[in-house]
A and B are shown apart, each in its own frame.
Chain A
Amino acid sequence: MIHINNLSYRYTGGTLALDSVNMSINKGEFVALIGKNGCGKTTLVRHLNALLIPTDGSVSVFGMDTKDTPKVWNIRQAVGMVFQNPQNQFVGTTLEEDVAFGPENLALPQNEIRKRVDMALREVGLLEYKTRAPKTLSGGQMQRAAIAGVLAMEPECIVFDEVTSMLDPESRKMILDTIRQLHHNGKTIIYVTQRIGEILPFAGRIISMDNGRIEFMGTPREYLASVKSHVPAITSLMRKLKAKGFDVRDDVFAVDDAFLEITKACMKGYEEERNTDNG
């Protein structure tokens, strides 16, 4: 449903932020986009709903080219986006007004807006807070409100751009649970993060970027393998992992078992990361 063809993008300042990127995203996928700070993740995903228009190459969403100006509003309705800072994407004076902002822009009738607002708030578990002022909400609640704001537009695909980076571990877990639930209900998810640990257990596909280019694309399993650069046998990978201090058995040879072991270790690592963050 999303096709990116030889996409390059240069900011007016002169930085070439994207350099001939090619990729496709299918309906119902859960894609994690990872990479260091400044490698071009945000620039890439902002092309997906025509917030940025390619300098070179093309982006097509459901067969609509993002350069096709009259289609921009359809594209933005189909691909929702949640941003990093929960405070800076709140536009209403109460929670329900904020969620209504998108449907209002689509000029839907009042009863339809009401229906969608309640549906979206229920989905993120904030229905009982609907008349609250933003000031009385926590960062995590505001971020879930932002997700509800996007859901109310009934998009096919939702992009999350480092949405958990400003949150405490508890809210982070809640947001991730919400996102998994949305994926389960059939939404296509593109999740941008610098913390590979938080997303590895959930993502169907990992895309890793470096310096404006795609460096790796594949399953989490393949990604784990590629991190230890060109290890041929799974056993030797496991040994190396163990030598690096990962808590895995090194007598595993079946790929699936290794995957299980690594995921377990990752979850544990993620858990530990959470605990240290807590402390």
Chain B
Amino acid sequence: MDELFRSYIPNSSPLHRLDPRTKLVSLMVISILVLQAFTFTGLGLFAAFFVLLAYLSGVGTGAFLRSIRPMLMFFAFIFLMHLFLTEGEPIFRIGLVHPTFEGLVLGTVITTRFVLLILFASLLTATTRPSMITNGIERMLRHIPLNRIGLSSFDIATMMSLAIYFVPVLMDNAHQVRYAQISRGLDIRHNMFRGVSTTITPMIRGSLHTADDLATAMESRCYQGKYRTSLFELRMRTVDWCVLCGISCVVFLFSGYANY
């Protein structure tokens, strides 16, 4: 979560200036379309679209590579799964193992889909500050009657921004507890799962303590989970409506082609 949200790169490109709601809706639509693409032409089209947007955003290639890197294992796993487990014409055979040509194609298509998903998502996080993302989500959720389940859109937005900050804090705490125990003689060389329970207990206690402190601090700063304003108010401009119109047209076009 931290990695995802730390990727914001300040700039004043047209993409940066779009309303976060426009970007969130567009991302959702594009993701659905990408997940249905299964020809190389279709995927190539989306890849070209990504390159165009990336160029417009003025965000360097490095940022996108960074967003891909933590997922490499996952991509490799997906690719190899399909390569070896798809039925079809074998490329070669060693014992029971036989990668197939069909697997090669399917693996490439599915892996490319995921890579594109991550790239489009990182385009959103690189051009939108975290608070704008949570803000945008809050404004979109405002129309859903969440109070039936005892929540408000404000609660959800606050929870998200707390998670962005606190997940890494809690991870740090876990490390500290671990080091404290190793420094007191916990031997993890032979069995790395040793002492997991003794790590978890103080960690949970620490987290509850943190949660309690946090709730008190929020209450004392008048947090009510009800209507609140924001340092960054959102405004849909003409260009936002144009983008949304464009996206609708694209959806309309693609819905005509079942195979792309």
Taking Cβ atoms with an 8 Å cutoff, the residues of A that contact B are 46, 49, 51, 73, 76-77, 80-81, 83, 85, 87-94, 96-97, 100-110, 113-114, 117, 131, 133-135, 146, 149-150, 153
Contacts and interface: CB of A to CB of B under 8 A. Distances in A.
B228 A105 contact: yes
SS class of chain B's interface: helix, strand, loop or mixed?
Answer: helix
Contact of B164 (A46, A73, A93, A108): A93
Contacts of B230: 100, 104, 110, 113
9 contacts: A76-B219, A87-B210, A93-B5, A97-B231, A102-B221, A103-B231, A104-B230, A107-B228, A133-B6
Contacts of A46: 216
Given A76-B222, A135-B168, A89 B229 contact: no
B229 A109 contact: yes
A105 B5 contact: no
B218 A91 contact: yes
Given A87-B169, A90-B165, A96-B231, A149 B221 contact: yes
Contacts of A76: 219-222
A129 to B, nearest CB: 15
Interface string B229-247: 1111100000000000000
Given A91-B165, A104-B229, A77 B131 contact: no
A81 B213 CA distance: 12
B215 to A, nearest CB: 10
B162 interface: yes
B223 A114 contact: no
A118 to B, nearest CB: 11
Given A87-B169, A94-B131, A108 B229 contact: yes
**Which 7 pairs from chain A and chain B are nearest by CB?**
A88-B213, A89-B217, A100-B231, A105-B222, A102-B221, A93-B130, A81-B220
A117 B217 contact: no
A110 B130 CA distance: 18
Contacts of B220: 49, 51, 76, 80-81
A117 B231 contact: yes
A93 B165 contact: yes
B214 interface: yes
Contacts of B129: 93-94
Nearest to A109: B229
B165 A83 contact: no
Interface string B84-124: 00000000000000000000000000000000000000000
Given A93-B131, A93-B165, A105-B222, A88 B229 contact: no
B189 to A, nearest CB: 31
B222 A106 contact: yes
Given A93-B5, A93-B161, A97-B161, A88 B217 contact: yes
Contacts of A107: 227-229
A92 B131 contact: yes
B224 interface: yes
B221 A153 contact: yes
Given A51-B216, A88-B213, 5 more contacts: A77-B222, A83-B213, A85-B213, A105-B224, A117-B231
